[in-house]
């Protein structure tokens, strides 16, 4: 696996995919670290690079559009307009070296910014792909993310503090989320229930996400 930050300029490959792990710094309930989304994005990019040697992993971008979590201490959000501009400028600069840019976002709230930035970059004839992990299950700091973090870094999970939050379907929560943020529907910041989460389940979920990412990248690079 090649990490961009470890390379010296003469050793930067001329024909590579730059994979950018994009996350957030936001609350993930009382039991998961603020870096959870960035951790997942980093791990996915690293796993991709282990099976596709042409991938170079960029340093992670740990700030995103997380305004819905702003009522919880520790959340640091730069918002959609700023994130959009950061991604556009990053993509323009990266394209001077790398023919392809892959953005892997661990935070769903970055979607609007990523879509807007990629539309601009694509219109400028830059070859870019965005990929978001998708899974069946709860949305935020519940069983899925807790299991993933237990698999990736169990020592950073405070299982004794894990507790259920809002367990209603996300679609039914969205109107209140949009108007009042996560705190308005879940005082502890959890959208789901981490009960039963395990490293073993996390590994199974992670392996499935890696397989999906590898498939998506293979389809992308095979396009004419």
* pLDDT(224) > 80: no
Domains of the chain, earliest start first:
2-221 (3.40.50.10310)
Residue 76 and residue 23 in contact, taking contact as beta carbons nearer than 8 Å = no
pLDDT for residue 151: 98
Kindly give, in sequence order, each residue whose CB lies less than 8 Å from that of residue 12, ignoring residues fewer than 6 positions away: 4, 56, 97
Q: What is the pLDDT of residues 188-222, one digit of tens each?
A: 999 999 999 999 999 999 999 999 999 999 999 99
Mean pLDDT of the chain: 97
3-class SS shares of the chain: helix, strand, coil, % to 5: 50, 15, 35
Kindly give, in sequence order, each residue whose CB lies less than 8 Å from that of residue 55, ignoring residues fewer than 6 positions away: 1, 2, 16, 17, 18, 19, 45, 48, 49, 102, 217
Residue range 11-36: mean pLDDT, rounded: 97
Q: Starting at the earlier edge strand, list the strands of the sheet with 2-3.
A: 2-3, 55-57, 17-22, 100-105, 127-131
- Radius of gyration of the chain measured on its C-alpha atoms: 18
Residue 174 and residue 13 in contact, taking contact as beta carbons nearer than 8 Å = no
Alpha-carbon distance of 127 to 119, in angstroms, equals 11
Residue 152 pLDDT class (50, 70, 90 cuts): very high
Residue range 49-69: mean pLDDT, rounded: 97
pLDDT for residue 211: 98
List the one residue out of 135, 104, 133, 132 whose CA is nearest residue 201: 135
- Whole-angstrom CA distances from 66 to 37, 82, 94 are 11, 12, 25
Residue range 174-182: mean pLDDT, rounded: 91
* pLDDT(105) > 90: yes
Kindly give, in sequence order, each residue whose CB lies less than 8 Å from that of residue 73, ignoring residues fewer than 6 positions away: 27
Alpha-carbon distance of 96 to 44, in angstroms, equals 25
pLDDT for residue 150: 98
Q: What one-character-per-residue DSSP string does 104-126 give?
A: EES-GGGHHHHHHHHHHHHHTT-
Kindly give, in sequence order, each residue whose CB lies less than 8 Å from that of residue 83, ignoring residues fewer than 6 positions away: 63, 64, 65, 110, 113, 114, 117
Q: What is the pLDDT of residues 74-96, one digit of tens each?
A: 999 999 999 999 999 999 999 99
Residue 221 and residue 100 in contact, taking contact as beta carbons nearer than 8 Å = yes
pTM exceeds 0.75, yes or no: yes
Alpha-carbon distance of 18 to 91, in angstroms, equals 10
Q: What is the pLDDT of residues 126-148, one digit of tens each?
A: 999 999 999 988 999 999 999 99
Residue 171 pLDDT class (50, 70, 90 cuts): confident
């Amino acid at each position: 696996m090649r990490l961009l930050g470890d390379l010296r300029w003469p050793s930067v490959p001329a024909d590579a995919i730059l994979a950018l792990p994009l996350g957030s710094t936001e609350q993930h309930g009382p039991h998961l670290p603020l870096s959870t989304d960035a951790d997942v994005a980093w791990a996915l990019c690293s796993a991709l690079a282990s099976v596709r040697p042409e991938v170079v992993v960029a340093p992670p971008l740990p700030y995103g559009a997380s305004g819905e979590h702003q009522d919880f201490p520790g959340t640091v959000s730069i918002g959609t307009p700023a994130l959009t501009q950061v991604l556009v400028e990053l993509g323009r600069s990266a394209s001077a070296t790398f023919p392809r840019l892959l953005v892997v976002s661990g935070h769903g709230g970055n979607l609007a910014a990523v879509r807007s930035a990629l539309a601009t970059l694509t219109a400028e004839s830059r070859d870019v792909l965005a990929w978001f992990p998708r899974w069946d299950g709860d949305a935020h700091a519940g069983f899925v993310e807790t299991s993933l973090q237990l698999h990736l870094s169990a020592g950073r999970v405070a299982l004794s503090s894990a507790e259920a939050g809002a367990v209603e379907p996300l679609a039914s929560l969205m109107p209140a989320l949009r108007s009042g943020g996560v705190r308005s529907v879940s005082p502890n910041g959890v959208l789901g229930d981490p009960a039963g989460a395990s490293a073993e389940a996390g590994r199974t979920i992670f392996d499935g996400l890696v397989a999906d990412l590898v498939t998506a990248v293979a389809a992308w690079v095979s396009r004419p």
